[in-house]
């Protein structure tokens, strides 16, 4: 049987580069499109160093219609994993148009190119942030959505667009069956779409060769801790110790990036299964199903690395929730996926990446 070819948008980024490794090692051909707006070509050279295999690279913006049309004309793509997007919550509040343009418009251009090429299998990087200020702490997929910032709303809008695209398939297919005059020379495919709602991805590949390489001063907890541990930053601020949680600090569901990308491989397999046989668009949480507090992360990091973290308690950060974590039961039942790595693994692997690459990919 021929190897399947997967187009990975944003494949040079943090999660995308780990996905490339996993896809290549699982036996897929990989094509990457990335404009390197938040990554460097070096990450893909590292993918080659780990796997001995190289993705085919298209350096392009997904909003470039001609570039995407050329890509789909040159390559026989079976499915797309769509990571390309901007992801900083604070920046999205300052530059909402940039975020909607890149994330929402970029996805529209991609979808049009896919439709024109009759490529209709898609795995989309959504986020737990689409749940907004839910009234419970453990989020299941059927909770109502209500993102509270432009980044989150861009993800929620894309989810809505993808649900609409999938629903339209049923109408169009019925009309095709009646008139049989659409796409006369090829099979009319139905959209098969998986929305993966990530909780908090951290960690790095166990080789220590690829990992998260934030621009400037990190906003997220683990990249900040890594830079304090390595001496690049002086002190971590713990944003609030007066939340109604077990130790007063914020609780999140942290997931090892390698477990996360394995969820994408499982999702690709599910597209060939019964759930998606007649086309579908379904959301799945990718999380561990349990939360750790900021102090848990600091204490465990100190234990597994032997490095002390200089921190102070600071006021709460605007927009932060006290506590949430995934209900990952649906991903287990329908994708046969669950996390395999624990917090020690996440922190040891992240520290290996940081120690081996104190300046990231520079």
Tell me: does residue 198 bind ligand NAD (CB under 6 A).
yes
From the candidates 151, 224, 284, 324, give the one annotated as an active-site residue.
Answer: 151
Q: What SS3 state is found at 272?
A: coil
Query: Is the CB of residue 285 less than 8 Å from the CB of residue 195?
Result: no
Q: State the binding partner of 166 from ligand NAD, ligand UFG, none, CB within 5 to 8 A by kind.
A: none
Tell me: does residue 36 bind ligand NAD (CB under 6 A).
yes
Tell me: does residue 128 bind ligand UFG (CB under 6 A).
yes
Tell me: does residue 125 bind ligand NAD (CB under 6 A).
yes
Sole window of 47-55, 137-145, 232-240, 349-357 interacting with ligand UFG (rule: CB under 6 A): 232-240
Distance, first Cα to last Cα, the chain: 40
Tell me: does residue 324 bind ligand NAD (CB under 6 A).
no
Tell me: does residue 238 bind ligand UFG (CB under 6 A).
yes
- DSSP 8-state symbol, 101: I
Catalytic annotation present for 151: yes
Say if strands 138-139 and 325-326 run parallel, antiparallel, or are unpaired: parallel
Tell me: does residue 87 bind ligand UFG (CB under 6 A).
yes
Say if strands 79-82 and 5-9 run parallel, antiparallel, or are unpaired: parallel
Backbone angle region of 150, left / alpha / beta, with phi > 0 → left and psi within -120 to 50 → alpha: alpha
- Residue 323 sits at φ, ψ, to 5 deg, of -155, 130
What residue number has its CB nearest to ligand NAD? 13
Which residues are 7's β-sheet partners? 31, 80
Shortest distance in whole angstroms from residue 70 CB to ligand NAD: 14
Radius of gyration of the chain (CA): 20
Locate the DSSP E strands across 95-239.
Answer: 121-127, 138-139, 192-198, 200-202, 236-239
**Is the Cβ of residue 83 or residue 324 nearer to ligand NAD in the bound state?**
83
Tell me: does residue 252 bind ligand UFG (CB under 6 A).
yes
- Tell me, residue by residue from 309 to 328, as one string, x for binding to ligand UFG by CB under 6 A and - for no binding: --------x--x--------
How far is 340 from 64, CA to CA, in rounded Å? 38
Tell me: does residue 219 bind ligand UFG (CB under 6 A).
yes
**Is the Cβ of residue 204 or residue 294 nearer to ligand UFG in the bound state?**
294
Contacts (Cβ under 8 Å, ≥6 apart) of 55: 8, 11, 20, 24, 30, 31, 32, 44, 47
Q: State the binding partner of 219 from ligand UFG, ligand NAD, none, CB within 5 to 8 A by kind.
A: ligand UFG
- Tell me, residue by residue from 55 to 74, as one string, x for binding to ligand NAD by CB under 6 A and - for no binding: ------xxx-----------
Q: Which of residues 54, 69, 220, 300 is near ligand UFG by CB under 6 A?
A: 220
Q: Which of residues 17, 103, 107, 129 is near ligand UFG by CB under 6 A?
A: 129
Task: Give the long-range contacts of residues 277-281, CB within 8 A, separation 24 or more.
Answer: 278/190, 279/120, 279/166, 279/169, 279/170, 279/173, 279/190, 279/191, 279/192, 280/166, 280/192, 280/193, 281/162, 281/163, 281/165, 281/166, 281/167, 281/191, 281/193, 281/194, 281/195
**Is the Cβ of residue 76 or residue 237 nearer to ligand UFG in the bound state?**
237
- Tell me, residue by residue from 289 to 318, as one string, x for binding to ligand NAD by CB under 6 A and - for no binding: ------------------------------
Q: State the binding partner of 29 from ligand NAD, ligand UFG, none, CB within 5 to 8 A by kind.
A: none
- Tell me, residue by residue from 98 to 127, as one string, x for binding to ligand UFG by CB under 6 A and - for no binding: -----------------------------x
Contact residues for ligand UFG, defined by CB under 6 A: 87, 89, 127-129, 199-200, 219-221, 224, 236-239, 250, 252, 294, 317, 320
Q: Which of the residues are catalytic?
A: 151
């Amino acid at each position: 049987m021929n190897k399947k070819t997967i187009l990975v948008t944003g494949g040079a980024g943090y999660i995308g580069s780990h996905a490339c490794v996993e896809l290549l090692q699982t036996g897929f051909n990989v094509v990457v499109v990335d404009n390197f707006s938040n990554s460097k070509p070096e990450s893909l050279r590292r993918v080659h160093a780990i796997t001995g295999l190289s993705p085919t690279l298209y350096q392009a913006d997904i909003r470039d219609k001609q570039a995407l049309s050329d890509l789909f004309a040159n390559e026989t793509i079976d499915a797309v994993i769509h990571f390309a997007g901007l992801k900083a919550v604070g920046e999205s509040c300052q530059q909402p148009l940039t975020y909607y343009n890149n994330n929402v418009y970029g996805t529209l251009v991609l979808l049009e190119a896919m439709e024109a090429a009759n490529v209709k299998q898609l795995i989309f990087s959504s986020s737990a942030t689409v749940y907004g200020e839910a009234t419970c702490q453990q989020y299941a997929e059927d909770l109502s959505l209500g993102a509270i910032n432009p980044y989150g709303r861009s993800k929620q809008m894309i989810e809505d667009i993808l649900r609409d695209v999938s629903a339209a398939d049923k109408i169009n297919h019925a009309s095709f069956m009646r008139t049989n005059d659409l796409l006369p020379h090829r099979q009319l495919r139905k959209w098969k779409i998986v929305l993966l709602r990530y909780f908090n991805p951290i960690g790095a590949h166990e080789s220590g060769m690829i990992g998260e390489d934030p621009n400037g001063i990190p906003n997220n907890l683990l990249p900040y801790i890594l830079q304090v541990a390595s001496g690049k930053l002086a002190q971590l601020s713990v944003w609030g110790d007066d939340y109604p949680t077990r130790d007063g600090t914020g609780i999140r569901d942290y997931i090892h990036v390698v477990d996360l990308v394995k969820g994408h491989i499982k999702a690709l397999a599910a597209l060939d299964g019964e759930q998606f046989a007649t086309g579908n668009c379904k959301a799945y949480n990718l999380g561990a199903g349990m939360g750790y507090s900021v102090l848990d992360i600091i204490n465990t990091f100190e234990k597994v690395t032997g490095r002390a973290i200089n921190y102070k308690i600071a006021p709460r950060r605007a927009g932060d929730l006290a506590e949430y974590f995934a209900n990952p039961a649906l991903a287990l039942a329908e994708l046969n996926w669950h996390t395999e790595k624990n917090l020690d693994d996440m922190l040891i692997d992240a520290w290996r990446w940081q120690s081996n690459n104190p300046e990231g990919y520079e």
